[in-house]
A = this chain, B = another copy of it.
Amino acid sequence: MGWLKAYDPGSYPPFAVTVDLVLLTVQQEELSALVIKRAEPPFKGRWALPGGFVRPEEDLSAAAERELTEETGLSGEMVHLEQLASYGTPDRDPRMRVVTVAYLALTPNLPVPTAGGDAAYARWSPVGELLEVPRRLAFDHHRILSDGLERARAKLEYSPLGTGFCQPEFTVAELRQVYEIVWGTPLDPRNFHRKVTGAPGFLTATGQTTTRNGGRPAQLYRRGDTSVLYPPILRREPEPFV
């Protein structure tokens, strides 16, 4: 009631729809997110997640991939880009009613982006610093980044997406460091090794070895072909679920 009437074309309240990206990477022993310096009000001079309007004939996921490519040069086939959640509080943008659909991607260590030719335009910032203070980020991006972080942490348990943080070829120790940084917990190297090499389809050995981390040469692996990790790599204490 009211539904059918309101659903009449031409009589609906207009919204702006954007996509925002939570792009995470691991660099210098820290988990970082890509942020953009806002050049215009509102929140002029503050950092914000990259994002932009969905175009009139564009799918949501296509808009997210386009933004990803614009900001990082990565294509949608190269990284796993997944929908995170949508945010639409009426006052989240002071200018107009905006609903944003947030996407999450875990990317390998990239060169510092300089889209727009402005060195101060975009940068990777440690997630810990960005979330330290609730209002450090523009709009409701603190919330979005928090949600993205929690999703990324959970994904590492049950999916092989942690490899997305690594170079195409990586050692078990490099992968373990990713887990340790994202979860903020030390993991037993020996048990971790057994778990990841034992999970079918997670890793495929290249046959090559490397000594780039010192010590005995380590096997190099590539990401395997599975999308599920079984058995999962579990954190000690699971976080609240909802």
Interface residue A82 (Cβ < 8 Å from any Cβ of B): yes
Are B9 and A95 in touch, CB under 8 angstroms? yes
Are A159 and B86 in touch, CB under 8 angstroms? no
Are B12 and A96 in touch, CB under 8 angstroms? yes
Bound: A54/B96 CA distance, A: 14
Interface residue A4 (Cβ < 8 Å from any Cβ of B): yes
Copies in the complex: 2
Interface residue A6 (Cβ < 8 Å from any Cβ of B): yes
Are A52 and B89 in touch, CB under 8 angstroms? no
CB distance from A73 to the nearest CB of B (A): 13
Interface residue A162 (Cβ < 8 Å from any Cβ of B): no
Quick one: closest B residue to A17, CB to CB?
Answer: B15
Bound: A40/B6 CA distance, A: 12
Interface residue A111 (Cβ < 8 Å from any Cβ of B): no
Contact A158-B86, Cβ < 8 Å, known A3-B51, A9-B96, A70-B1: no
Interface residue A88 (Cβ < 8 Å from any Cβ of B): yes
Segment of A125-133, A167-175, A215-223, A234-242 engaged in the interface with chain B: A234-242
